[in-house]
Structure 1
Amino acid sequence: MGSQWGADRFYKKAVSEGYRSRAAYKLRDIQNRFNIIRSDDNIIDLGAAPGSWMQVLRELTAGKIIGIDLNPIASIEGTQAITGDFTTDAVQQKITSMVHEVNVVVCDASPKLSGQKSYDQARAVALSEEALLFAIKVLKPGGNFVVKSFQGEMFNELLELARENFYSVRVYRSRAARRGSSEAYIIAKNFKGITNVA
């Protein structure tokens, strides 16, 4: 019951405040605690649909905001959206043509869940790793990265890769997460600017 109550509370708040999903409050919570976004940052949001993080980002920065998702993202004023796979060369080249400098990459994406816990966790961590590899490619030195993942067998490997490439790495569970969830965010700040990928 507690989990459902939490979902209802944040869902109702999102509706009343005009956000597309309750996930908006996870990003607000992360920003309040870690100050990952500055007022002029250019930001890429991976797995951005339906767009609630893009809505929050638009409130936090005057820089460019580009959202990428396999599904179309309904228009949000002052942002740009790409429908496609962020791991492909075509999408990455398109981003390069749209923004000359990327200060922050965020990713709240999740794979479609099968209900098999270990399998779903492995797929979620693999997706998070793809997001991290993308961030390493596009971020300027000193940039920040936030990614959702799920704590399981492969989580520590993902964390270690983040630590190799950023000076400050923390793991954080948002207060807006559903109770009982193994969801956690990796908050990686101050990109070293040297590609440390095995």
Structure 2
Amino acid sequence: MTEKNTSGRGQRDLRVRVKTAKGRKLSSTLWLERQLNDPYVQRAKREGFRGRAAFKILELDDKYAFLKPGSRVVDLGCAPGGWCQVAVERVNALGQRPNKPVGTVLGVDLQEVEPISGAEIHQLDFLADDADQMVKDWLGGSADVVMSDMAAASSGHKGTDHLRIIALCEAAAYFAFDVLEEGGTFVAKVLAGGTENELQVLLKKNFQKVANVKPPASRANSSEKFVVAMGYKGRQADV
């Protein structure tokens, strides 16, 4: 890796350049260079988060304040755990603020996830028939927040990937309908692509307010955005 010197001002461009390596694709080199120069990646390392995605949920919660002390939170597809780390602090799951109620953070994922202090992690397919009841049993009741940063495995085809993530988000929404307390919040990642209308109709039918937002931590060239659905009405009969 090299750093390019600048002339005339005694300064230098601190952007890290990654040299091409034998056997490494150009796309891999560009990805590595982007990661090394991403301020959110660097900040995540400094602050002990498991990934830059932690700042997306931080920024969303700063704006909409759904992670309250004492809340019960379910994080679907929680690997590697950055969203759980944020939730633990925000809902006071470790009881570090003695004058605030203590919350609960439950993370589920298809793969095994390294333990997170203050969070309960389970290896579970949330699409399994009894997953909603298992989650409520672990929580000791309904959830106040269901959140998802899940994305389907990339096919390399933009249209197909968009359809897959919308389907995954809809599945997460139906799961939320089963486990959320009335007044609860659902937060999920989607990809802009023109087929989100049915999802929007579904959420607006079941929540008092639905916001669509791209937090600053989302890369500018990414099509991802997030839906924040607040004020769960209780599952509607015709859903």
Instruction: Give the structure-2-normalised TM-score.
Output: 0.79
The whole-number CA distance in structure 2 between the counterparts of 1:96 and 1:27 is 23
State percent identity of aligned pairs. 34
Correspondence 1:101 to 2:131: no
Which AA in structure 1 matches 2:116?
I
Structure possessing the higher relative contact order (Cα contacts under 8 Å, 6 or more residues apart): 1
Maintained 8 Å contact 1:164/1:196 = no
Q: Give 1:110's match in structure 2, choosing from 127, 151, 162.
A: 151
Q: Which runs of 5+ in 1 are unaligned?
A: none
1:4 is displaced (CA, Å) by 2.9
The whole-number CA distance in structure 2 between the counterparts of 1:56 and 1:28 is 7
Which AA in structure 2 matches 1:150?
L
Partner of 2:106: 66
> 1:25-174, aligned counterparts within 5 Å?
25-61=55-91, 62-99=102-139, 100-174=141-215
The whole-number CA distance in structure 2 between the counterparts of 1:36 and 1:128 is 19
Q: 1:70 to 1:152 in 2, by over 3 A?
A: same
Correspondence 1:20 to 2:57: no
Which AA in structure 2 matches 1:17?
E
Deviations 1:61-118 (A, max 9, x none): 0311110111111001111111121011233232121111211100001111111000
The whole-number CA distance in structure 1 between the counterparts of 2:36 and 2:229 is 27
For the pair shown, which has the larger CA radius of gyration, 1 or 2?
2
Structure with the bigger percentage of helix: 1
Q: 1:127 to 1:4 in 2, by over 3 A?
A: same
The whole-number CA distance in structure 1 between the counterparts of 2:53 and 2:238 is 30
Partner of 1:178: 219
The SS at the match of 2:212 is strand
Q: 1:75 to 1:60 in 2, by over 3 A?
A: same
The SS at the match of 2:130 is helix
Alignment: residue pair count: 197
